[in-house]
Amino acid sequence: MMTIRPANERGRASFGWLDSRHSFSFGHYHDPEHMGFGPLRVINEDRVKPGQGFGRHGHSDMEIISYVLDGALEHKDSIGTGSIIRPGDVQRMSAGTGVEHSEYNASATDPVHFLQIWILPEKNGLAPGYEQKSFAADEKRGQLRLVGSRDGRDGSVTIHQDVDLYAALLADGESASYELAPDRRGWLQVARGAVEFNGQALAAGDGAAIVAPGSAPYALDIAGRDDAEVLLFDMRA
């Protein structure tokens, strides 16, 4: 079974320096029908103006993933990490018992466009941690590349939850397939471009919640339209 979350129905926050679209309830946007999906709690699509950003603030008991689409995001935190996150990078910060951090557009001239993703951890009270890895475009071209997982396999970042996160770049005519086990649920997020997903047309910003019906694996077919970039989450039910 698949349920579409249209981009134009997402929540929105606009503060001049920030334009943010919320797939799930976040901040001042509250929708009891969209509080998350399984352990996936937040998908925010953020655009931040040059030289602006989120000042130092705190988090706890959350796995926070940043996925940059365009530009560069500067990260600093209270556990001593400082980094620049660029397209192709995947950053995972485990807030655990508590961490403070800031996120700023690293450029004085160009905007930064990124996805901020929050995943509920498998347990609270974990030690704070940070990890960042880069995945070349060729690794994602025409296929789903594992970029995050519970066990960090295949060079992916480690997520402290039963979640496999895949990324793919799909030009027009390229496609990728995946089988979702019957005891799992999935979420497809179209980060840019457009796709045909199991016969449904999805555009940039659209999401799709998937629950495998019956007792057999559920086939997922993603066909690229207009230079698509997608994220696929395979999660515990």
Residues 116 and 150 occupy one common structural domain:
no
> Any idea what DSSP says for residue 154?
G
Does 111 fall in a domain? yes
Cα–Cα distance between 14 and 21 in angstroms, integer?
A: 9
pLDDT by residue (tens digit) across 9-39? 999 999 999 999 999 999 999 999 999 999 9
Please determine, for residue 1, whether its predicted confidence score (pLDDT) is greater than 90.
Answer: no
- CA 37 to centroid of chain Cα atoms: 13
CATH code assigned at 152: 2.60.120.10
Which H helix or E strand runs over 138?
Answer: helix 137-140
Model confidence band, residue 231 (pLDDT cutoffs 50, 70, 90): very high
> Any idea what DSSP says for residue 28?
T
Residue 113's domain spans which residues?
11-135
Spatial contact of 24 and 34, defined as CB atoms under 8 Å apart: yes
pLDDT by residue (tens digit) across 120-146? 999 999 999 999 999 999 999 999 999
Residues 29 and 56 occupy one common structural domain:
yes
Spatial contact of 170 and 193, defined as CB atoms under 8 Å apart: yes
Domain boundary among 91, 108, 135: 135
Beta strands 2-5 and 207-211 are antiparallel
Side chain identity at residue 108, one-letter code: A
Number of domains present in the structure of the chain: 2
Domain boundary among 86, 101, 135: 135
pLDDT by residue (tens digit) across 37-49? 999 999 999 999 9
Does 211 fall in a domain? yes
**Both structure tokens of 167:** 């990324």
> Any idea what DSSP says for residue 26?
B
Other CB atoms within 10 A of residue 15 CB: 10
Spatial contact of 234 and 186, defined as CB atoms under 8 Å apart: yes
Phi and psi dihedrals of 137, rounded to 5? -60, -35
Does 6 fall in a domain? no
pLDDT by residue (tens digit) across 180-228? 999 899 999 999 999 999 999 999 999 999 998 778 899 999 999 989 9
